[in-house]
Each structure stands twice: as C-alpha cells, then as structure tokens.
Structure 1
C-alpha cells in the first residue's frame, strides 16, 4: 500500500500552469484552469498560440484590451476572488457585471447576475429602465415584462436620459402604454390588465 501510486482527484487536482495577460498597461498572472472555467473568450486566445510560448512570461503577455477594459477585468476578477461572498453588491455593479459576462462569454457569472436580479435574492434595485436596456441588449427576456409594467404605471415622466437609454422605438411604445394605463386608472404593475397590456404592446417572441 505504501508504494501504491496515488491517483489525482478528477476535480481538485488542478492545472498549475499560469497564464500572463496584459490589459490597460498592467500585467495579470492567472491559473490556466480559471480561464478554462470562466472565460472561453480568453481561453481561445491562449489556444491560438502555435508555439506555446505566449503568456508564459511578462515579455510574452497576451493582450486582452480588444475585449475588455482594465477596470472591467479587475471587477471580473474581484467578483470571483472576493465579491461572490459579499452580502450586498450595489445595483450598478450588477449591471456592469452582466455587460462583462457578455464580453467574456462567462456563463457562470451571467447566470448569477440574472438569477439574483430576477429573484431579488439580495437587497438591490436595478431601475426599470436599466432592466429594459440590459434585458434587450444582453438577451435577458425574463427581466422585460415586469420592467415594462413598472414603466407603464410609474408616476414620474420619462426623462430625456431614460429615453436615450431605451431608444426611440421602445420609448414610443412605453408612452403608448402609459397613456392607456392613465386613461383606465391602472396604477399597479401587478394589475392583470397592465400585465395583459404589456403582452399586447410588447408581445413575447414566438
């Protein structure tokens, strides 16, 4: 038994190879397995190397500036190293993390952001306008119906800045919904009539 060769655990005997990346004038050294797990986009950069030397030293660091800014990359790393255990993450940070997850094709981060914002598992508020903007831009359809309903019955008028975020076509449709709700005295986003109106004006994809 003493001379028996030990076998590596299938999940927790991790690749010790390190990859060096450059972003925004800074160098980052990360375990290769993290790229494999969290970002297919960055992993493809390392796999495109024919001689296997890129990313093995500071002089051969792989640039990633075309994909992401330094601030975004630091936020991405902070989330996995520290942020995932934080009890409260600001709403604007969740929005940025969704954008980052799309840039790096990080499905794990994307799912975490969508689940937490949708289920409100933590105390956070992402505005209705931001949910519409991000939901349309980053293909999160489950955020849209409730966000549209909230905009239909909201007391405050849409601002110019909000209209720019939503875009002309969606803004026109939202104003149409607001007018219908006002004429019918519908004031709750949970009202069945409001929910049906959202489906009428913004029909779900078939």
Structure 2
C-alpha cells in the first residue's frame, strides 16, 4: 500500500514518459511507443483520442492489441524500421525497392508525410522499371513519377505489350499509344529525333490523372526532353 501511495505523488515527465501500444498483424504482435503514431498522423491521432491506460483499452496489452486486418506483418515491420531505426538493422543495411514500397504504401495510407517523402526520395534513387514506376505512382499518388513514366513510355522504341496494357488499364494504354503514334509522326523516325513539346502534350492528354496524383499538370520548366531522357529515368 505504501508503494501505491508513493507512486500517486509522482509526476510523469512531459517529454520522456512514453505510452506504448500493441498491434496484432497477421498473428504477429508489435509493441512500440505510440508517440510517433500520435504526433505524425492525423488518422492515428484520432484513434488515440480515447485513453489506452486501462487493461480494457484496445492496444494496451498483448491480450487486447489493436488488430490491423488489411495489411501484412512484413509491410508493418518495414514501416517500423524507418519509424524506429535505432531498433532495427536499417541503419546499417540498405533497404531495397520492395522494402521502400512497403514503407510508401503504409505511410501514404496513414498520412505519415515525412516518412512518405523519405520513401519517395529513396525509391527515386533506384533504377526502377518504368511500368513499375507508373503503377506505383498511380497507386500512391506520386505525380512526378507518373509524368516521367508516361513520357518514357511514349518515347521508347517498343510499343506497349498486351501484358503492359493490362497492368496500366486499357484506357490509359490506348491513350498512351495514341500519343506515342502522334509523337513519333511529329518527331520523325530517326536516331536523333526531337520530341520538342512532348511534355506539354503529355500533360494535356493525362491532365486529370496527373493532378489526381499530385502533379501540377504542367511540364517542369527545367525538364528537357532531349535524346538522353530515357537514360535519366
């Protein structure tokens, strides 16, 4: 009883007394400080509006975790690797494309803006397949990737395959093929063809998709679509 009485006199430090939260994802329990979730995501801030201090509160214990039904445990672990790098190998092991895609997926879903920016920056350093870049851009609203990817698909020598058209969706694939035919007709079929004005045409053709993905809908002023464009993607 004395210990209980004494503990009631203590004051919790405002900066360094952290509550933890327990998640259950695909049968795997994760217990982490809830501070980052609460401070950096409006979605999770709303979730934690209700107190988690009692044994009955969801997320307060292994017996009563917050159950995340719609995501994979590996995706969640990869997000935590970036969120809490001091507890992972991410500081000394370079994360690959699949790992950063997991981070991009969940940071976009939950509104972790800084982590999302980091994931986009790291993935931008990777020489991703153009079609993968377009699919990711459309899934997770990365406007610059969508602009770059559509432009590269229009400029490349090979036309879209049936499998690529399926991945893109037939309407987008059809419009890309139309734009490619018009661009090649205008540029000429030679090794040193010029695609002057293609950026503007791409933005006009796919304006709605680009804006939905967070792009301005206008070609960057310093973006030159010269002969070396494909090598820069």
> TM-score normalised to the size of structure 1?
0.76
Q: Does 1:77 find its partner at 2:80? A: yes
Look up the match of 1:56.
60
CA 1:42–1:200 in structure 2 vs 1: closer, same or farther (change >3 Å)? closer
> TM-score normalised to the size of structure 2?
0.68
Distance in 2, matches of 1:87 and 1:26, equals 23
Distance in 1, matches of 2:39 and 2:52, equals 22
Structure 1 residue ranges without an equivalent (≥5): 1-7
Q: Does 1:115 find its partner at 2:121? A: yes
Distance in 2, matches of 1:146 and 1:190, equals 17
1:166 CA drift (Å): 1.2
**Is contact 2:38-2:48 (8 Å) kept?**
no
Q: Let me know the Cα RMSD of the aligned residues.
A: 3.0
**Is contact 2:18-2:34 (8 Å) kept?**
yes
1:35 to 18, 21, 37: 37
1:161 to 147, 150, 163: 163
1:95 to 95, 101, 108: 101
- Which structure would you say has the larger Rg? 2
Distance in 2, matches of 1:157 and 1:136, equals 20
CA 1:89–1:28 in structure 2 vs 1: closer, same or farther (change >3 Å)? closer
Q: Does 1:142 find its partner at 2:144? A: yes
Structure 2 residue ranges without an equivalent (≥5): 1-12, 212-216, 218-233
The residue correspondences of 1:122-201 to structure 2 (distance < 5 A) are 122=125, 124-183=126-185, 184-185=187-188, 191-201=195-205
Q: For residues 104-143 of structure 1, give each alpha carbon's deviation from its aligned partner in whole angstroms, at most 9, with x where no partner exists.
A: 22212211123344xx4x3x11222222222233222222
